[in-house]
Amino acid sequence: MLKNKDFHNLIILGVVGTLIFSACGFIFGGAISAVLIFALGAGLTAFFAHITKKRYEAIERLNDYLAQVLAGAKLPETDEQEEGEVSILKTNIYKVTSVLSHQRDLLSEEKIRLANALADISHQLKTLLTSMMVMNDLLKNEDDVAKRGEFLKTQSNQLDRMNWLILTLLKISKLDAGTVELKKEEVSSKDLIASALKPFEIQMELKEIKTEVIANDMTIRCDRNWTLEALQNIIKNCFEHMDAGGQLKIETDDTNLFSMIQISDTGCGIAKEDIPHIFERFYKGKNAGKDSVGIGLALSKSIIDGQHGEISVRSEEGVGTTFTVRFYKTIV
């Protein structure tokens, strides 16, 4: 402590000041005055030295604490109840380091999720590329026109899937990065549902899937294009999990709190253990199709959440699945 320049100067100043004033007291007031002044000066010097020593010790503990934090040690708990500038500083440092530690943990978790996502993306793309390379090798040595046409059709389908995968990942990335501005438009629910169903009309007709739409003539405040993307991904999921002759039902409702779109199917349903994870990226439940990637519903959730909405699901295996989308009229 004596090596500290400020503390050293304080002691010297106190001692020198005490001696000077004691000498003046002896000259002008005699020995008794000198002794009293010396005792008072020595007492004040000792008192201030003690207070300063305690402050420097507190600062030293804070310095050790920060060194531990920088070294990655676990943050110690604090129950600081004292008053004063150093105590306030100590409390604020604890708060800041706690926040930084929490942010560090979040970044660590985010890095793990990113690594897992990249691994999943690489796996999906590698699977498609491998299939296309095999088809390409077969095409080189195939003379049968019919088989060549079949191989080319398979390659075309794989390219379509790869294109969809890349575009969907780009959309999710834009939403995650906050570079997408989701507008608030007045959209007719009937027009929105009709537009969402249009790309599937031929497929549903070929698969003999019946569609029932019970839509109120209501207006939904949402971003039309992005909401259309979300609904189409939900309908696509329903369509892929229904056998021929199934039924797709879409209903709407309007309350003082929210506007709702409900999409139900008579498909194979979702296993109970899969329901909590159905909106997670690259998650594929036990009833997922062989070509499922697991990002369509994740994109839908990102879009709905980005508009302060809510998407939920309930399902029963062998009976069907119902997706409910709510657009709240006030932020909840």
Q: In CATH terms, are 112-177 and 185-328 the same topology?
A: no
pLDDT at 32: 74
pTM reported for the whole predicted model: 0.61
Quick check: 267 and 241 in contact, CB under 8 A? yes
CA 159 – CA 168 distance, rounded (Å) = 14
CA distances, 284 to each of 171, 174, 237, 296 (Å): 20, 23, 12, 11
Average pLDDT on 259-287 reads: 85
pLDDT of 25 strictly over 70: no
pLDDT at 93: 73
pLDDT at 89: 72
pLDDT at 38: 73
Q: Of residues 172 and 245, which shows the higher confidence score?
A: 245
Which of 135-144, 159-168, 266-275 reaches the highest mean pLDDT? 266-275
pLDDT of 171 strictly over 90: no
Whose tokens are 């001692």? That residue is 15
pLDDT at 227: 92
Torsion of CA 20, 24, 25, 26, to 10 degrees: 100
pLDDT at 91: 74
Where does 112-177 sit in CATH, by number? Answer: 1.10.287
* CATH of range 185-328; options 3.30.565.10, 3.40.1440.10, 3.90.1570.30, 3.40.50.150: 3.30.565.10
pLDDT at 135: 78
pLDDT of 282 strictly over 80: no
Q: What totals of helices (H) and strands (E) does the chain contain, helices first? A: 8, 7
pLDDT at 228: 92
How many other C-beta atoms can be found within 10 angstroms of the C-beta atom of residue 298?
Answer: 19
pLDDT at 126: 79
pLDDT of 81 strictly over 60: no
User: Within a 13 Å sphere around the CA of 294, how many CA atoms are in the beta-carbon half?
Assistant: 18
- Sequence spans of domains, the chain: 5-101, 112-177, 185-328
Indicate the range of 68-77, 94-103, 246-255 predicted with least confidence.
68-77
